[in-house]
Structure 1
Protein backbone atom coordinates (compact mmCIF):
# COMPACT_ATOMS: atom_id res chain seq x y z
CA UNK A 1 0.00 0.00 0.00
CA UNK A 2 1.30 3.46 -0.93
CA UNK A 3 2.44 5.80 1.82
CA UNK A 4 0.01 8.69 2.22
CA UNK A 5 1.51 11.81 0.71
CA UNK A 6 -0.26 14.17 3.08
CA UNK A 7 1.95 17.18 2.27
CA UNK A 8 1.21 16.98 -1.48
CA UNK A 9 -1.74 18.92 -2.92
CA UNK A 10 -2.60 17.50 -6.33
CA UNK A 11 -4.17 19.61 -9.05
CA UNK A 12 -4.28 20.07 -12.82
CA UNK A 13 -4.08 22.93 -15.29
CA UNK A 14 -5.44 24.19 -18.61
CA UNK A 15 -2.24 22.84 -20.18
CA UNK A 16 -3.53 19.29 -19.60
CA UNK A 17 -6.55 20.23 -21.74
CA UNK A 18 -4.37 21.41 -24.62
CA UNK A 19 -4.56 25.09 -23.67
CA UNK A 20 -1.49 27.21 -24.48
CA UNK A 21 -3.05 30.53 -25.48
CA UNK A 22 -5.67 32.95 -24.11
CA UNK A 23 -7.82 32.40 -27.18
CA UNK A 24 -7.43 29.75 -29.86
CA UNK A 25 -10.11 27.92 -31.90
CA UNK A 26 -8.24 24.62 -31.39
CA UNK A 27 -8.68 24.84 -27.60
CA UNK A 28 -11.66 23.73 -25.50
CA UNK A 29 -13.83 26.53 -24.06
CA UNK A 30 -12.91 27.48 -20.50
CA UNK A 31 -16.27 26.33 -19.15
CA UNK A 32 -15.60 22.82 -20.43
CA UNK A 33 -12.13 22.81 -18.88
CA UNK A 34 -13.53 23.76 -15.48
CA UNK A 35 -16.33 21.21 -15.71
CA UNK A 36 -14.00 18.41 -16.74
CA UNK A 37 -11.14 19.13 -14.34
CA UNK A 38 -13.65 18.93 -11.48
CA UNK A 39 -15.23 15.79 -12.94
CA UNK A 40 -11.78 14.17 -13.13
CA UNK A 41 -11.40 14.56 -9.38
CA UNK A 42 -9.02 17.50 -9.02
CA UNK A 43 -9.62 20.25 -6.50
CA UNK A 44 -6.79 22.64 -7.45
CA UNK A 45 -6.13 24.41 -10.77
CA UNK A 46 -3.78 27.00 -12.23
CA UNK A 47 -5.01 30.02 -14.17
CA UNK A 48 -3.23 29.07 -17.40
CA UNK A 49 -2.63 31.78 -20.02
CA UNK A 50 -3.97 35.08 -18.74
CA UNK A 51 -7.32 35.71 -20.42
CA UNK A 52 -8.27 32.08 -20.99
CA UNK A 53 -10.27 31.94 -17.76
CA UNK A 54 -12.38 34.99 -16.83
CA UNK A 55 -10.16 37.81 -15.52
CA UNK A 56 -12.84 39.41 -13.35
CA UNK A 57 -12.05 38.05 -9.86
CA UNK A 58 -15.67 37.95 -8.70
CA UNK A 59 -16.84 36.05 -11.75
CA UNK A 60 -13.91 33.63 -11.70
CA UNK A 61 -14.36 33.02 -7.97
CA UNK A 62 -18.00 32.14 -8.60
CA UNK A 63 -17.11 29.79 -11.46
CA UNK A 64 -14.44 27.87 -9.54
CA UNK A 65 -16.33 27.83 -6.23
CA UNK A 66 -19.43 26.22 -7.63
CA UNK A 67 -17.32 23.44 -9.11
CA UNK A 68 -15.48 22.84 -5.84
CA UNK A 69 -12.18 24.15 -7.22
CA UNK A 70 -9.45 26.44 -5.86
CA UNK A 71 -6.60 28.25 -7.62
CA UNK A 72 -2.98 27.40 -6.74
CA UNK A 73 -1.01 29.77 -9.03
CA UNK A 74 -0.80 32.09 -11.99
CA UNK A 75 1.89 32.00 -14.71
CA UNK A 76 4.00 34.56 -16.55
CA UNK A 77 6.81 34.45 -19.13
CA UNK A 78 9.74 36.88 -19.03
CA UNK A 79 13.12 37.61 -20.58
CA UNK A 80 14.96 39.25 -17.67
CA UNK A 81 18.32 38.00 -18.96
CA UNK A 82 18.11 40.85 -21.47
CA UNK A 83 18.69 43.37 -18.71
CA UNK A 84 16.88 46.25 -16.96
CA UNK A 85 15.18 47.34 -20.21
CA UNK A 86 12.91 44.29 -19.85
CA UNK A 87 11.60 45.28 -16.45
CA UNK A 88 8.76 47.58 -17.45
CA UNK A 89 7.12 45.14 -19.90
CA UNK A 90 7.64 42.26 -17.46
CA UNK A 91 6.04 44.14 -14.59
CA UNK A 92 3.09 45.17 -16.77
CA UNK A 93 2.35 41.48 -17.39
CA UNK A 94 3.09 40.49 -13.79
CA UNK A 95 0.76 43.12 -12.35
CA UNK A 96 -2.24 41.75 -14.24
CA UNK A 97 -1.56 38.08 -13.50
CA UNK A 98 -0.39 38.54 -9.91
CA UNK A 99 -3.40 40.66 -8.99
CA UNK A 100 -5.84 38.01 -10.24
CA UNK A 101 -3.78 35.24 -8.62
CA UNK A 102 -3.85 37.06 -5.28
CA UNK A 103 -7.55 37.82 -5.58
CA UNK A 104 -8.23 34.12 -6.10
CA UNK A 105 -6.51 33.32 -2.81
CA UNK A 106 -3.49 31.65 -4.40
CA UNK A 107 0.06 32.08 -3.10
CA UNK A 108 2.35 31.36 -6.06
CA UNK A 109 3.40 32.95 -9.34
CA UNK A 110 5.06 30.51 -11.75
CA UNK A 111 7.73 32.31 -13.79
CA UNK A 112 8.89 30.76 -17.07
CA UNK A 113 11.96 32.14 -18.87
CA UNK A 114 11.44 33.23 -22.46
CA UNK A 115 12.24 30.80 -25.29
CA UNK A 116 15.53 31.04 -27.19
CA UNK A 117 13.95 29.22 -30.13
CA UNK A 118 10.43 29.70 -31.45
CA UNK A 119 8.30 26.83 -30.21
CA UNK A 120 6.31 26.71 -33.45
CA UNK A 121 8.65 27.67 -36.29
CA UNK A 122 11.99 26.52 -34.78
CA UNK A 123 13.46 29.94 -35.65
CA UNK A 124 16.50 30.62 -33.47
CA UNK A 125 15.65 33.80 -31.60
CA UNK A 126 18.75 34.04 -29.38
CA UNK A 127 21.83 31.94 -28.56
CA UNK A 128 20.99 28.91 -26.40
CA UNK A 129 23.74 29.81 -23.91
CA UNK A 130 23.77 33.03 -21.92
CA UNK A 131 26.85 35.19 -21.47
CA UNK A 132 28.17 35.87 -17.98
CA UNK A 133 26.62 39.33 -18.16
CA UNK A 134 23.24 37.86 -19.16
CA UNK A 135 23.39 35.38 -16.27
CA UNK A 136 23.88 38.35 -13.97
CA UNK A 137 20.88 40.13 -15.47
CA UNK A 138 18.79 36.96 -15.13
CA UNK A 139 19.61 36.22 -11.50
CA UNK A 140 19.40 39.83 -10.29
CA UNK A 141 16.21 40.34 -12.28
CA UNK A 142 14.56 37.26 -10.79
CA UNK A 143 15.56 38.33 -7.29
CA UNK A 144 14.06 41.76 -7.88
CA UNK A 145 10.93 40.13 -9.27
CA UNK A 146 10.67 37.88 -6.23
CA UNK A 147 11.07 40.79 -3.84
CA UNK A 148 8.58 43.10 -5.57
CA UNK A 149 5.95 40.42 -6.20
CA UNK A 150 6.09 39.48 -2.52
CA UNK A 151 5.92 43.09 -1.33
CA UNK A 152 3.17 44.15 -3.74
CA UNK A 153 1.00 41.04 -4.06
CA UNK A 154 2.04 38.72 -1.23
CA UNK A 155 2.95 35.93 -3.67
CA UNK A 156 6.04 33.72 -3.83
CA UNK A 157 7.64 33.35 -7.25
CA UNK A 158 8.71 29.87 -8.38
CA UNK A 159 10.91 29.77 -11.48
CA UNK A 160 10.08 26.99 -13.93
CA UNK A 161 12.98 25.31 -15.81
CA UNK A 162 11.61 24.75 -19.31
CA UNK A 163 12.73 23.17 -22.56
CA UNK A 164 14.14 25.62 -25.12
CA UNK A 165 14.80 28.28 -22.47
CA UNK A 166 18.03 29.27 -20.73
CA UNK A 167 17.09 27.47 -17.51
CA UNK A 168 16.72 23.89 -18.66
CA UNK A 169 19.53 21.39 -17.99
CA UNK A 170 20.87 20.23 -14.63
CA UNK A 171 23.91 22.47 -15.10
CA UNK A 172 21.79 25.55 -15.82
CA UNK A 173 19.29 24.86 -13.03
CA UNK A 174 22.03 24.37 -10.44
CA UNK A 175 23.85 27.50 -11.62
CA UNK A 176 20.62 29.46 -11.30
CA UNK A 177 19.90 28.16 -7.80
CA UNK A 178 23.46 28.71 -6.63
CA UNK A 179 23.32 32.30 -7.90
CA UNK A 180 20.01 33.37 -6.35
CA UNK A 181 18.75 34.12 -2.85
CA UNK A 182 16.46 31.39 -1.48
CA UNK A 183 14.56 34.06 0.43
CA UNK A 184 13.50 35.64 -2.87
CA UNK A 185 13.49 32.94 -5.56
CA UNK A 186 12.65 29.25 -5.51
CA UNK A 187 11.88 26.60 -8.08
CA UNK A 188 8.86 25.13 -9.78
CA UNK A 189 10.27 21.70 -10.64
CA UNK A 190 8.55 20.37 -13.74
CA UNK A 191 9.41 16.68 -13.82
CA UNK A 192 8.72 16.37 -17.54
CA UNK A 193 10.74 19.37 -18.68
CA UNK A 194 13.62 18.42 -16.40
CA UNK A 195 13.69 14.88 -17.82
CA UNK A 196 13.33 16.30 -21.35
CA UNK A 197 16.53 18.25 -20.69
CA UNK A 198 18.39 15.31 -19.12
CA UNK A 199 17.83 16.08 -15.41
CA UNK A 200 17.02 13.77 -12.50
CA UNK A 201 14.09 15.13 -10.46
CA UNK A 202 14.66 12.94 -7.39
CA UNK A 203 18.30 13.96 -7.25
CA UNK A 204 17.37 17.64 -7.54
CA UNK A 205 14.80 17.36 -4.74
CA UNK A 206 17.28 15.53 -2.51
CA UNK A 207 20.10 18.01 -3.25
CA UNK A 208 18.21 21.32 -3.35
CA UNK A 209 15.15 20.42 -1.29
CA UNK A 210 14.93 23.80 0.43
CA UNK A 211 14.61 25.46 -3.00
CA UNK A 212 11.72 23.31 -4.27
CA UNK A 213 8.65 25.50 -3.84
CA UNK A 214 6.21 23.91 -6.27
CA UNK A 215 5.89 20.89 -8.59
CA UNK A 216 4.55 20.29 -12.06
CA UNK A 217 3.95 16.60 -12.76
CA UNK A 218 4.46 15.22 -16.24
CA UNK A 219 6.36 12.48 -18.01
CA UNK A 220 8.24 12.16 -21.29
CA UNK A 221 8.24 9.26 -23.73
CA UNK A 222 11.92 8.15 -23.87
CA UNK A 223 11.74 6.89 -27.47
CA UNK A 224 10.16 10.06 -28.83
CA UNK A 225 12.56 12.15 -26.73
CA UNK A 226 15.57 10.35 -28.22
CA UNK A 227 14.35 11.28 -31.71
CA UNK A 228 13.65 14.87 -30.62
CA UNK A 229 17.18 15.23 -29.24
CA UNK A 230 18.85 13.49 -32.21
CA UNK A 231 17.05 15.71 -34.72
CA UNK A 232 17.10 18.93 -32.65
CA UNK A 233 13.33 19.25 -32.88
CA UNK A 234 11.91 22.34 -31.10
CA UNK A 235 9.52 22.00 -28.22
CA UNK A 236 6.23 22.74 -30.02
CA UNK A 237 6.61 20.08 -32.71
CA UNK A 238 7.97 17.68 -30.07
CA UNK A 239 4.73 18.06 -28.12
CA UNK A 240 2.74 17.38 -31.28
CA UNK A 241 4.70 14.14 -31.64
CA UNK A 242 3.55 13.12 -28.17
CA UNK A 243 6.83 13.60 -26.30
CA UNK A 244 4.86 14.41 -23.13
CA UNK A 245 2.93 11.25 -22.37
CA UNK A 246 0.29 9.96 -20.01
CA UNK A 247 1.66 8.53 -16.76
CA UNK A 248 2.82 5.96 -15.89
CA UNK A 249 4.02 5.27 -19.45
CA UNK A 250 7.06 7.58 -19.40
CA UNK A 251 9.86 8.96 -17.27
CA UNK A 252 10.55 9.92 -14.57
CA UNK A 253 8.64 7.56 -12.32
CA UNK A 254 6.32 9.85 -10.39
CA UNK A 255 6.03 7.70 -7.27
CA UNK A 256 9.66 8.23 -6.20
CA UNK A 257 9.43 11.94 -7.08
CA UNK A 258 6.38 12.39 -4.87
CA UNK A 259 7.94 10.37 -2.06
CA UNK A 260 11.10 12.52 -2.20
CA UNK A 261 8.93 15.65 -2.14
CA UNK A 262 6.92 14.35 0.84
CA UNK A 263 10.17 13.82 2.77
CA UNK A 264 10.88 17.56 2.56
CA UNK A 265 8.23 18.01 5.25
CA UNK A 266 6.57 21.03 3.68
CA UNK A 267 3.24 21.49 1.92
CA UNK A 268 3.74 21.42 -1.84
CA UNK A 269 1.43 21.75 -4.80
CA UNK A 270 1.87 19.06 -7.45
CA UNK A 271 0.03 20.23 -10.55
CA UNK A 272 -0.44 17.82 -13.45
CA UNK A 273 0.61 19.40 -16.73
CA UNK A 274 0.56 17.09 -19.73
CA UNK A 275 1.45 19.26 -22.72
CA UNK A 276 -0.92 18.31 -25.53
CA UNK A 277 -1.36 21.36 -27.76
CA UNK A 278 -3.25 20.97 -30.01
CA UNK A 279 -5.51 18.04 -29.17
CA UNK A 280 -8.97 16.71 -29.93
CA UNK A 281 -11.60 18.12 -27.51
CA UNK A 282 -12.54 14.68 -26.20
CA UNK A 283 -9.00 13.53 -25.48
CA UNK A 284 -8.10 15.30 -22.18
CA UNK A 285 -10.87 14.12 -19.82
CA UNK A 286 -10.25 10.35 -19.99
CA UNK A 287 -6.50 10.95 -19.56
CA UNK A 288 -7.16 13.26 -16.60
CA UNK A 289 -9.37 10.65 -14.92
CA UNK A 290 -6.77 7.91 -15.39
CA UNK A 291 -3.95 10.19 -14.23
CA UNK A 292 -5.83 11.14 -11.06
CA UNK A 293 -6.46 7.45 -10.36
CA UNK A 294 -2.77 6.70 -10.91
CA UNK A 295 -1.67 9.46 -8.54
CA UNK A 296 -4.02 8.12 -5.88
CA UNK A 297 -2.31 4.75 -6.28
CA UNK A 298 0.96 6.56 -5.45
CA UNK A 299 -0.65 7.92 -2.29
CA UNK A 300 -1.43 11.45 -3.52
Structure 2
Protein backbone atom coordinates (compact mmCIF):
# COMPACT_ATOMS: atom_id res chain seq x y z
CA UNK A 1 0.00 0.00 0.00
CA UNK A 2 1.23 3.48 -0.83
CA UNK A 3 2.41 5.59 2.07
CA UNK A 4 0.19 8.37 0.71
CA UNK A 5 -3.07 7.09 2.13
CA UNK A 6 -5.71 9.39 0.74
CA UNK A 7 -9.17 8.72 -0.64
CA UNK A 8 -10.89 10.72 -3.34
CA UNK A 9 -14.46 11.77 -2.71
CA UNK A 10 -16.89 14.31 -4.11
CA UNK A 11 -19.55 16.72 -2.97
CA UNK A 12 -22.93 16.50 -4.73
CA UNK A 13 -22.61 20.18 -5.69
CA UNK A 14 -21.39 19.02 -9.09
CA UNK A 15 -24.92 17.73 -9.71
CA UNK A 16 -27.12 19.88 -7.46
CA UNK A 17 -26.51 23.08 -5.49
CA UNK A 18 -27.97 23.38 -2.00
CA UNK A 19 -27.72 27.18 -1.93
CA UNK A 20 -29.01 27.62 -5.48
CA UNK A 21 -31.68 24.97 -6.19
CA UNK A 22 -32.00 26.36 -9.72
CA UNK A 23 -28.61 24.78 -10.42
CA UNK A 24 -29.41 21.11 -10.79
CA UNK A 25 -32.14 21.02 -8.17
CA UNK A 26 -34.24 18.68 -10.30
CA UNK A 27 -31.48 16.03 -10.48
CA UNK A 28 -32.27 12.95 -8.36
CA UNK A 29 -29.69 12.03 -5.73
CA UNK A 30 -29.50 8.54 -7.22
CA UNK A 31 -28.07 9.99 -10.44
CA UNK A 32 -25.24 11.66 -8.54
CA UNK A 33 -24.45 8.52 -6.54
CA UNK A 34 -24.55 6.25 -9.60
CA UNK A 35 -22.38 8.51 -11.73
CA UNK A 36 -19.97 9.32 -8.91
CA UNK A 37 -19.33 5.64 -8.23
CA UNK A 38 -19.02 4.90 -11.94
CA UNK A 39 -16.33 7.57 -12.28
CA UNK A 40 -14.36 6.05 -9.41
CA UNK A 41 -15.14 8.18 -6.36
CA UNK A 42 -15.03 6.30 -3.05
CA UNK A 43 -17.32 8.53 -1.07
CA UNK A 44 -19.69 11.50 -0.97
CA UNK A 45 -20.13 14.44 1.32
CA UNK A 46 -23.67 15.16 2.40
CA UNK A 47 -26.09 17.39 0.53
CA UNK A 48 -29.67 18.34 1.31
CA UNK A 49 -31.15 15.33 -0.51
CA UNK A 50 -29.43 12.73 1.69
CA UNK A 51 -31.34 10.92 4.48
CA UNK A 52 -30.71 12.39 7.95
CA UNK A 53 -31.35 9.20 9.89
CA UNK A 54 -28.13 7.22 10.49
CA UNK A 55 -29.34 3.78 9.42
CA UNK A 56 -31.18 5.07 6.37
CA UNK A 57 -28.04 6.92 5.25
CA UNK A 58 -25.88 3.86 5.83
CA UNK A 59 -28.26 1.69 3.79
CA UNK A 60 -28.35 4.18 0.92
CA UNK A 61 -24.58 4.52 0.65
CA UNK A 62 -24.15 0.75 0.89
CA UNK A 63 -26.31 0.32 -2.22
CA UNK A 64 -23.66 2.20 -4.19
CA UNK A 65 -20.60 0.90 -2.31
CA UNK A 66 -19.80 4.43 -1.17
CA UNK A 67 -18.48 5.85 2.11
CA UNK A 68 -19.66 8.95 3.92
CA UNK A 69 -16.88 11.52 3.63
CA UNK A 70 -18.27 14.19 5.93
CA UNK A 71 -21.05 16.75 6.02
CA UNK A 72 -21.41 20.51 6.29
CA UNK A 73 -22.66 21.82 9.61
CA UNK A 74 -24.08 25.36 9.77
CA UNK A 75 -22.63 26.67 13.02
CA UNK A 76 -23.56 29.89 14.81
CA UNK A 77 -20.86 30.26 17.42
CA UNK A 78 -20.51 33.95 16.53
CA UNK A 79 -23.96 34.40 18.08
CA UNK A 80 -24.44 31.65 20.64
CA UNK A 81 -22.56 29.78 23.33
CA UNK A 82 -20.60 26.58 22.96
CA UNK A 83 -23.20 24.82 25.09
CA UNK A 84 -26.01 25.93 22.78
CA UNK A 85 -24.03 24.79 19.76
CA UNK A 86 -23.26 21.42 21.35
CA UNK A 87 -26.98 20.91 21.94
CA UNK A 88 -27.78 21.92 18.35
CA UNK A 89 -25.18 19.68 16.69
CA UNK A 90 -26.39 16.45 18.30
CA UNK A 91 -28.31 14.84 15.42
CA UNK A 92 -25.74 15.86 12.80
CA UNK A 93 -22.83 14.64 14.89
CA UNK A 94 -24.57 11.30 15.45
CA UNK A 95 -25.26 10.98 11.72
CA UNK A 96 -21.57 11.45 10.92
CA UNK A 97 -20.19 9.29 13.73
CA UNK A 98 -22.52 6.35 13.05
CA UNK A 99 -21.55 6.40 9.38
CA UNK A 100 -17.80 6.38 9.89
CA UNK A 101 -16.99 10.04 9.19
CA UNK A 102 -14.11 11.29 11.35
CA UNK A 103 -14.32 14.99 10.42
CA UNK A 104 -17.17 17.48 10.38
CA UNK A 105 -17.15 20.44 8.00
CA UNK A 106 -17.89 23.42 10.24
CA UNK A 107 -19.12 26.48 8.38
CA UNK A 108 -19.90 29.63 10.37
CA UNK A 109 -23.21 30.96 9.04
CA UNK A 110 -23.98 33.61 11.68
CA UNK A 111 -24.20 36.94 9.84
CA UNK A 112 -22.78 35.36 6.69
CA UNK A 113 -23.65 36.85 3.31
CA UNK A 114 -22.70 33.78 1.27
CA UNK A 115 -26.34 33.17 0.36
CA UNK A 116 -27.48 36.79 0.11
CA UNK A 117 -27.38 39.32 -2.77
CA UNK A 118 -24.91 41.56 -0.91
CA UNK A 119 -21.45 42.24 -2.39
CA UNK A 120 -18.66 40.24 -0.80
CA UNK A 121 -16.95 43.24 0.79
CA UNK A 122 -19.94 43.55 3.13
CA UNK A 123 -19.13 40.26 4.85
CA UNK A 124 -19.06 40.18 8.68
CA UNK A 125 -15.77 40.68 10.52
CA UNK A 126 -14.35 40.45 14.01
CA UNK A 127 -12.71 43.79 14.67
CA UNK A 128 -11.43 43.52 18.24
CA UNK A 129 -9.23 41.17 20.25
CA UNK A 130 -12.17 40.50 22.54
CA UNK A 131 -14.39 39.42 19.64
CA UNK A 132 -11.75 37.06 18.28
CA UNK A 133 -11.01 35.62 21.72
CA UNK A 134 -14.65 35.01 22.56
CA UNK A 135 -15.27 33.28 19.26
CA UNK A 136 -12.13 31.15 19.51
CA UNK A 137 -12.97 30.06 23.07
CA UNK A 138 -16.44 28.95 22.00
CA UNK A 139 -15.06 27.09 18.99
CA UNK A 140 -12.42 25.40 21.12
CA UNK A 141 -14.99 24.10 23.61
CA UNK A 142 -17.26 22.95 20.82
CA UNK A 143 -14.42 21.21 18.98
CA UNK A 144 -13.24 19.41 22.10
CA UNK A 145 -16.74 18.04 22.53
CA UNK A 146 -17.09 16.74 18.96
CA UNK A 147 -13.62 15.22 19.23
CA UNK A 148 -14.73 13.35 22.34
CA UNK A 149 -17.40 11.79 20.11
CA UNK A 150 -14.80 10.72 17.54
CA UNK A 151 -15.35 13.53 15.01
CA UNK A 152 -12.87 16.38 14.54
CA UNK A 153 -13.98 19.85 13.54
CA UNK A 154 -12.66 20.77 10.08
CA UNK A 155 -13.12 24.53 10.09
CA UNK A 156 -14.13 25.86 6.67
CA UNK A 157 -12.79 29.30 5.79
CA UNK A 158 -15.48 30.57 3.43
CA UNK A 159 -16.22 33.52 1.19
CA UNK A 160 -18.74 35.89 2.76
CA UNK A 161 -18.17 34.68 6.33
CA UNK A 162 -16.22 35.84 9.38
CA UNK A 163 -13.20 33.70 8.50
CA UNK A 164 -12.45 34.26 4.83
CA UNK A 165 -8.88 35.49 4.26
CA UNK A 166 -5.47 34.04 5.16
CA UNK A 167 -5.22 36.69 7.90
CA UNK A 168 -8.55 35.51 9.35
CA UNK A 169 -7.31 31.92 9.35
CA UNK A 170 -4.13 33.04 11.13
CA UNK A 171 -6.15 34.75 13.85
CA UNK A 172 -8.31 31.68 14.39
CA UNK A 173 -5.48 29.16 14.36
CA UNK A 174 -3.30 31.05 16.86
CA UNK A 175 -6.19 31.24 19.32
CA UNK A 176 -7.17 27.55 19.17
CA UNK A 177 -5.47 24.20 19.72
CA UNK A 178 -5.16 21.11 17.53
CA UNK A 179 -8.68 20.14 18.61
CA UNK A 180 -9.80 22.59 15.93
CA UNK A 181 -8.80 21.14 12.58
CA UNK A 182 -8.56 23.22 9.42
CA UNK A 183 -10.34 22.45 6.19
CA UNK A 184 -8.14 23.59 3.32
CA UNK A 185 -10.41 24.78 0.51
CA UNK A 186 -8.14 25.55 -2.43
CA UNK A 187 -10.82 27.54 -4.24
CA UNK A 188 -12.04 29.69 -1.38
CA UNK A 189 -8.56 30.65 -0.19
CA UNK A 190 -7.54 31.57 -3.75
CA UNK A 191 -10.70 33.66 -4.21
CA UNK A 192 -9.91 35.35 -0.89
CA UNK A 193 -6.50 36.47 -2.19
CA UNK A 194 -4.44 33.70 -0.63
CA UNK A 195 -2.24 30.83 -1.78
CA UNK A 196 -3.44 27.32 -0.91
CA UNK A 197 0.11 25.95 -0.88
CA UNK A 198 1.27 28.66 1.53
CA UNK A 199 -1.69 28.00 3.84
CA UNK A 200 -1.00 24.27 3.73
CA UNK A 201 2.67 24.79 4.56
CA UNK A 202 1.79 27.06 7.47
CA UNK A 203 -0.81 24.78 9.00
CA UNK A 204 0.28 21.31 7.90
CA UNK A 205 -0.44 19.84 11.33
CA UNK A 206 -3.93 21.35 11.48
CA UNK A 207 -5.24 20.45 8.01
CA UNK A 208 -7.57 17.49 8.47
CA UNK A 209 -9.76 17.81 5.38
CA UNK A 210 -9.26 19.13 1.84
CA UNK A 211 -11.77 20.55 -0.61
CA UNK A 212 -10.27 20.48 -4.09
CA UNK A 213 -11.85 23.36 -5.94
CA UNK A 214 -10.30 25.16 -8.91
CA UNK A 215 -10.70 28.84 -9.74
CA UNK A 216 -11.13 30.88 -12.91
CA UNK A 217 -9.11 34.06 -12.17
CA UNK A 218 -10.84 36.18 -14.81
CA UNK A 219 -14.23 35.54 -13.20
CA UNK A 220 -12.86 36.22 -9.70
CA UNK A 221 -11.48 39.53 -10.96
CA UNK A 222 -14.87 40.47 -12.38
CA UNK A 223 -16.55 39.49 -9.10
CA UNK A 224 -14.30 41.87 -7.21
CA UNK A 225 -14.46 44.72 -9.70
CA UNK A 226 -18.22 44.54 -10.14
CA UNK A 227 -19.06 43.96 -6.45
CA UNK A 228 -20.81 40.67 -7.12
CA UNK A 229 -22.33 38.60 -4.36
CA UNK A 230 -20.90 35.16 -3.68
CA UNK A 231 -23.77 33.49 -5.50
CA UNK A 232 -23.33 35.77 -8.52
CA UNK A 233 -19.70 34.71 -8.66
CA UNK A 234 -20.74 31.04 -8.51
CA UNK A 235 -23.35 31.44 -11.25
CA UNK A 236 -20.80 33.15 -13.46
CA UNK A 237 -18.28 30.34 -13.08
CA UNK A 238 -15.75 31.50 -10.48
CA UNK A 239 -15.22 27.88 -9.42
CA UNK A 240 -14.58 24.70 -11.36
CA UNK A 241 -13.11 21.23 -10.86
CA UNK A 242 -9.39 20.46 -10.44
CA UNK A 243 -7.56 20.67 -13.74
CA UNK A 244 -9.85 23.32 -15.21
CA UNK A 245 -8.53 26.48 -13.55
CA UNK A 246 -5.45 28.21 -12.16
CA UNK A 247 -4.83 26.36 -8.86
CA UNK A 248 -1.51 24.50 -8.79
CA UNK A 249 -2.83 21.12 -7.69
CA UNK A 250 0.42 19.36 -8.49
CA UNK A 251 2.18 21.36 -5.77
CA UNK A 252 -0.72 21.05 -3.33
CA UNK A 253 -0.93 17.26 -3.70
CA UNK A 254 2.86 17.05 -3.55
CA UNK A 255 2.91 18.93 -0.24
CA UNK A 256 0.10 16.79 1.17
CA UNK A 257 2.16 13.71 0.29
CA UNK A 258 5.25 15.25 1.88
CA UNK A 259 3.53 16.03 5.20
CA UNK A 260 1.92 12.60 5.36
CA UNK A 261 -1.68 13.77 5.06
CA UNK A 262 -4.15 10.96 5.54
CA UNK A 263 -7.72 11.76 4.74
CA UNK A 264 -10.07 12.73 1.98
CA UNK A 265 -9.51 14.82 -1.11
CA UNK A 266 -12.95 16.11 -2.02
CA UNK A 267 -13.85 17.50 -5.42
CA UNK A 268 -16.23 20.35 -4.76
CA UNK A 269 -17.10 22.84 -7.45
CA UNK A 270 -20.24 24.94 -7.44
CA UNK A 271 -21.18 25.27 -11.09
CA UNK A 272 -24.26 25.38 -13.29
CA UNK A 273 -24.60 21.80 -14.61
CA UNK A 274 -26.26 23.16 -17.77
CA UNK A 275 -23.01 24.95 -18.61
CA UNK A 276 -20.65 22.49 -16.94
CA UNK A 277 -22.18 19.01 -17.45
CA UNK A 278 -22.04 17.13 -14.16
CA UNK A 279 -20.57 13.82 -15.32
CA UNK A 280 -17.92 15.30 -17.59
CA UNK A 281 -16.67 17.76 -14.98
CA UNK A 282 -16.82 15.31 -12.09
CA UNK A 283 -14.79 12.89 -14.20
CA UNK A 284 -12.26 15.58 -15.09
CA UNK A 285 -11.80 16.45 -11.42
CA UNK A 286 -11.36 12.80 -10.49
CA UNK A 287 -8.86 12.07 -13.26
CA UNK A 288 -6.81 15.14 -12.36
CA UNK A 289 -6.52 14.13 -8.71
CA UNK A 290 -6.10 10.42 -9.45
CA UNK A 291 -3.14 11.10 -11.74
CA UNK A 292 -1.44 13.31 -9.16
CA UNK A 293 -2.07 10.93 -6.26
CA UNK A 294 -0.85 7.91 -8.23
CA UNK A 295 2.26 9.65 -9.59
CA UNK A 296 5.44 8.13 -8.07
CA UNK A 297 6.68 11.58 -7.10
CA UNK A 298 5.90 15.22 -7.75
CA UNK A 299 8.54 17.88 -8.22
CA UNK A 300 8.23 20.74 -5.73
CA UNK A 301 7.86 23.29 -8.53
CA UNK A 302 5.76 21.25 -10.88
CA UNK A 303 3.68 23.18 -13.43
CA UNK A 304 -0.01 23.77 -12.89
CA UNK A 305 -2.39 21.08 -14.10
CA UNK A 306 -3.60 23.34 -16.88
CA UNK A 307 -2.19 26.46 -18.45
CA UNK A 308 -4.59 29.37 -18.48
CA UNK A 309 -4.86 31.18 -21.78
TM-score by length of 1: 0.88
Name the SS of the counterpart of 2:183 in structure 1.
strand
Partner of 1:232: 227
Tell me whether 1:193 sits opposite 2:183 in the alignment: no
CA pair 236-124 structure 1, distance change in 2 beyond 3 A = closer
Give ranges in structure 2 of 5+ residues lacking alignment. Answer: 295-309
- 62 and 118 in structure 1: CA distance in 2 versus 1, 3 angstrom threshold: closer
Partner of 1:71: 68
C-alpha distance in structure 2 between counterparts of 1:221 and 1:8, whole Å: 26
Consecutive aligned runs of 4 or more in structure 1 exceeding 6 Å deviation? 22-25, 123-126
Matched residue SS, 2:47: coil
**Cα offsets for 1:250-290 (capped at 9, x unmatched):** 121111111111111131211110112x5339821111112
- Alpha-carbon distance change, 126 to 198 in structure 1, aligned in 2, over 3 angstroms: closer
Asked if the contact 2:114–2:159 (Cα under 8 Å) also holds between the matched residues in 1, the reply is no
Higher relative contact order (CA 8 A, sep 6+): 1
Query: 1:94: which partner in 2?
Result: 89
Aligned with 1:170 (options 166, 169, 173): 166
1:69-218 to structure 2, matched below 5 A, reads: 69-84=66-81, 87-88=83-84, 90-114=85-109, 116-122=112-118, 128-132=124-128, 133-151=130-148, 153-182=149-178, 184-218=179-213
Q: Is the 8 A contact 1:5 1:299 kept in 2?
A: no
| Partner residue in 1 for 2:254 | 259
Secondary structure of 1:263's counterpart equals: helix
Deviations 1:6-28 (A, max 9, x none): 23221101122233159878242
Counterpart contact for 1:19–1:28, Cα < 8 Å: no
Name whichever of 93-102 and 282-291 sits farther off: 282-291
For residue 166 of structure 1, report the CA deviation from its aligned partner. 1.1
- Equivalences, count: 290
Provide, for residues 215-256 of structure 1, a one-character-per-residue CA deviation record: whole Å limited to 9, x for no partner: 000011000000111122111111000000233221211111
Structure 1: state its 5+ residue gaps.
none
Q: Contact 2:86–2:145 (CA<8 Å) still a contact in 1?
A: no
Provide the TM-score with structure 2 as the length reference. 0.86
The 5-angstrom pairing of residues 24-43 of structure 1 reads: 26-43=25-42
Q: CA contact under 8 A between 1:102 and 1:155: conserved in structure 2? A: yes
2:293 is aligned to: 299
